[in-house]
Amino acid sequence: MTLNARARHYSTARFSGAILVLTVFLSCSAIAEKSGGKLIGGAFNLINHHNEPVTEKDFLGKFMLVYFGYTYCPDVCPTDLQIMSEALRMVDPAIARDITPVFVSIDPERDTVALMAQYIRHFHKNLIGLTGTVDQVRAIKSKYRVYSAKSDNTANYLVDHTAYTYLMNKDGTLLKHFNHALPPEKMAKQIMALAR
Ligand code: NI
pLDDT-based confidence at residue 196 (cuts at 50, 70, 90): confident
Task: Give ∠ CA 145-116-5 in degrees, rounded to 5.
Answer: 35
Q: How far is it, in rounded angstroms, from Cα 105 to Cα 45?
A: 13
Total domains, the chain: 1
Residue 179 belongs to a domain: yes
Residue 93 belongs to a domain: yes
Ligand 1 (ion): residues with CB under 5 Å are: 69, 73, 76-77
Domain that holds residue 114: 16-194
Q: How far is it, in rounded angstroms, from Cα 90 to Cα 183?
A: 12
The answer to whether the beta carbons of residues 178 and 77 sit under 8 Å apart is no
- Using the mean position of ligand 1's atoms as its centre, give its distance from the Cα of residue 162 in Å: 8
- Using the mean position of ligand 1's atoms as its centre, give its distance from the Cα of residue 99 in Å: 22
pLDDT-based confidence at residue 38 (cuts at 50, 70, 90): low
- Using the mean position of ligand 1's atoms as its centre, give its distance from the Cα of residue 72 in Å: 8
Residue 3 belongs to a domain: no
- Using the mean position of ligand 1's atoms as its centre, give its distance from the Cα of residue 96 in Å: 25
Residue 5 belongs to a domain: no
pLDDT tens digits, one per residue of 167-183: 999 999 999 999 999 99
- Using the mean position of ligand 1's atoms as its centre, give its distance from the Cα of residue 159 in Å: 7
- Using the mean position of ligand 1's atoms as its centre, give its distance from the Cα of residue 54 in Å: 23
pLDDT-based confidence at residue 99 (cuts at 50, 70, 90): very high
pLDDT tens digits, one per residue of 44-83: 999 999 999 999 999 999 999 999 999 999 999 999 999 9
- Using the mean position of ligand 1's atoms as its centre, give its distance from the Cα of residue 76 in Å: 4
Instruction: Give me the residues paired with residue 177 across strands.
Output: 166
For residue 156, what pLDDT is reported?
Answer: 93
Q: Domain with 25 in it: what CATH number?
A: 3.40.30.10
- Using the mean position of ligand 1's atoms as its centre, give its distance from the Cα of residue 94 in Å: 30
